[in-house]
Amino acid sequence: MTKECSNSLRGHDDFWPPVCGDYVVGDPEAKVAVVTLASRLRAEGAAISGPCKTENLGVEKIVANTISNCNIRFLIICGVESKGHLPGDTLLALHRNGIDEQGRIIGSKGAIPFIQNLPPEAVRRFQEQVELIDCIGLEDEDEIALQIERYNRLAEPYPGEPFLVVKRKAAREEIWAGEGDLILGAETAMDTAAWLVFAEEN
Amino acid sequence: MFRFKHEQTIVNVGGVKFGGQPGELPTVLCGTIFYQGHRIVQDDALGVFDRLAAELLVSRQAELSEETGNPAILHLYARTIEAAERYLAFADDAWDGPLIIDSADPSVRSASAQLVSEIGYADKSIYNSISVATGEAEAQAIRDSEMDSAIILAYNPANSSVDGSLQVLETGGSVKEKGLISLANDAGLVNLLIDPGIVPLGSGAGSALRFSVVVKARLGLPTGSGIHNAVSAWPWLRSADKATKWCCDAAASALQLGAAGDFLLYGPIESAKFIFPAAAMADIMIAEAVRDLEIEPALEHPLNRLV
């Protein structure tokens, strides 16, 4: 589910970044976002920076927080890769290949590379809006700052509205209790399928 | 605080029992050593570490286990097979109980399964883990080993709800051709411990608690989790002092036990000093809660040792 906001002039809305996480927000008008993978590094001059250790939820957060700010045109991937999970490789694969019908990130070598909470249009927008700069392994903060400075000068904001990802809320279903499969005592039972506690009838 | 209608499987790995009705068996507590970033590791590729510091940590866990009655497992994390060899040699000298063998790299996990078989540790080792990421090569390596115990990680990346995790276990859902329980059985694994996989707070960490109850109600298998990961991945808590973080870790652990957890992957082995008392206290409370439901705590239960 997506909704448009009316902040195209600034490139982002008042509540950017929309998804919480382990990151530092810099200048929202900057053109560069930085992911430091398993390393903790300073990234001066970036719009947003922080680590990412997982190839599914972590990658989703990066996508959601970059496409919701049209100013961000580059994502620098640096720091040491998170072993086994390989979020850096997964970001590159997502950008290059996208996802299949199940949400699996095509071509990722990560352990469980899936996009679950983003619509396919968000992935397409990520591919269009952001260019990835593969600096995996780079931990030199001065060099990272130079890269940020260089790429900040290279681009204009993405021509469009910020893309906000809003998670769909499931409609509440009427709850039916079946047989109690978990006994709480005092003639009280629970149907764990419906997660409903009830008094047992004699 | 529950009594399940479904018969509860009790898994025995190297003399340590997991499962049963809540309040029956003490919770099994698994502390990790040589984890990523562990200060006592000098070279995680070669497996070079401070042996004295490691011995102190392992013996402290053993002492707390002896004192509380909560069985302990040593969870070995290795980055490479060279490291795994050294860590297993250390465990052979310093630890009497069961082991969990673990790595982020499937080839290291597979090689470790062979290694524990060669040194006669297969019957007291637990493979961590079988998941949707387990491919045929890894399954074949386990089949070729003598291991018969594993943690099943029921994380469903396409549907992280309780139903989605159940699908991964039973049918594979949309991400696996068959369920992880069948996959594990086909690989020769019969002692199965179910772990929902813990995602960060805000992404659904709490659903692991409901999942634990549902798994025991539907399948009767032992469940548990590494719920401390929800605490350590909480950015808001990062700037808090150590005592505050420990309190949250202990509270999360007690929540998992209150939700019918049978084991706890409690994280860094250094946490033993506050996790064992917290878990023992929760075990006592739970045993007392079901005392008049005809559930008898085992002889070694904290209820029979600490009060």
Residue spans per domain, chain A: 2-165, 174-202
CB of B6 within 8 Å of a chain A CB? The answer is yes
CB of B104 within 8 Å of a chain A CB? The answer is yes
Query: To which residue do tokens 């989605």 refer?
Result: B164
Q: For CA atoms B272, B273, B276, B282, give the dihedral sign.
A: negative
pLDDT at A31 over 90: yes
CB of B295 within 8 Å of a chain A CB? The answer is no
Residues B60-103 have pLDDT tens digits of: 999 999 999 999 999 999 999 999 999 999 999 999 999 999 99
Nearest-neighbour CA in chain B from A9: distance (Å): 31
d(C-alpha A63, C-alpha A77), whole Å: 13
pLDDT at A3 over 60: no
What are the CA-CA distances from residue B239 to residues A52, A61, B82 (Å)? 18, 21, 36
Instruction: Give the type of residue at A185.
Output: G
CB of A169 within 8 Å of a chain B CB? The answer is no
- Which pLDDT belongs to residue A5? 39
Q: Which of B246, B300, B254, B304 is nearest to B281 (CA)?
A: B254
CB contact under 8 A, A183 and B2: yes
Residues A86-100 have pLDDT tens digits of: 999 999 999 999 999
pLDDT at A147 over 80: yes
* Sequence-ordered list of residues with C-beta below 8 angstroms from that of B51, at least 6 positions apart, any chain: B90
* Sequence-ordered list of residues with C-beta below 8 angstroms from that of A95, at least 6 positions apart, any chain: A126, A127, A130, A132
Look up residue A37 and give its two tokens.
């993978």
d(C-alpha B213, C-alpha B261), whole Å: 8
* Sequence-ordered list of residues with C-beta below 8 angstroms from that of A107, at least 6 positions apart, any chain: A93, A96, A97
Nearest to A182 among B4, B133, B292 (CB): B4
Nearest-neighbour CA in chain B from A111: distance (Å): 5
pTM metric for this prediction: 0.86
Q: What is the mean pLDDT of chain A?
A: 87
User: What residues of A are in contact with residue B199 (Cβ under 8 Å)?
Assistant: 57
Domain B10-304 has CATH 2.102.10.10: no
CB contact under 8 A, A84 and B293: no
CB B146 within 8 A of CB B123: yes
CB B173 within 8 A of CB B184: no
**Burial category of B34 from C-beta neighbours within 10 Å (exposed 0-12, middle 13-18, buried 19 and up):** buried
User: What residues of A are in contact with residue B1 (Cβ under 8 Å)?
Assistant: 184
3-state class of B137 per DSSP? helix
CB A36 within 8 A of CB A49: yes
CB of A172 within 8 Å of a chain B CB? The answer is no
- Which pLDDT belongs to residue A59? 96
- Burial per residue of A38-73, b for 16 or more beta-carbon CB atoms within 10 angstroms, e otherwise: bbebebebbbbbbbbbbbbbbbbbbbbbbbbbbbbb
User: What residues of A are in contact with residue B201 (Cβ under 8 Å)?
Assistant: none
CB A105 within 8 A of CB A94: yes
pLDDT at A77 over 80: yes
Q: Is the ipTM of this complex over 0.85?
A: no
Instruction: Give the type of residue at B113.
Output: A
Nearest-neighbour CA in chain A from B66: distance (Å): 31
> For chain B, how long is the longest CA-to-CA vector?
54
CB contact under 8 A, A20 and B235: yes
Q: Which of A135, A100, A89, A121 is nearest to A2 (CA)?
A: A121
CB contact under 8 A, A85 and B290: no
- Which pLDDT belongs to residue A15? 84
CB B148 within 8 A of CB B188: yes
d(C-alpha B161, C-alpha B225), whole Å: 16
> Length of chain B in residues, anyone?
307
Nearest to A57 among B105, B200, B210 (CB): B200
Give me the sheet containing A131-134, strands edge to edge: A24-25, A48-50, A32-35, A74-77, A131-134
Q: Where are the alpha helices (DSSP H) in chain B?
A: 51-68, 81-94, 106-118, 136-144, 162-170, 180-186, 207-218, 228-232, 242-258, 272-289
Residues B24-68 have pLDDT tens digits of: 999 999 999 999 999 999 999 999 999 999 999 999 999 999 999
User: What residues of A are in contact with residue B195 (Cβ under 8 Å)?
Assistant: none
d(C-alpha B171, C-alpha B182), whole Å: 8
Per-domain residue ranges of chain B: 10-304
CB of B218 within 8 Å of a chain A CB? The answer is yes
d(C-alpha B67, C-alpha B61), whole Å: 10
Most B-contacting residue of A59, A81, A106, A112 (CB-CB within 10 A), to test interface: A112
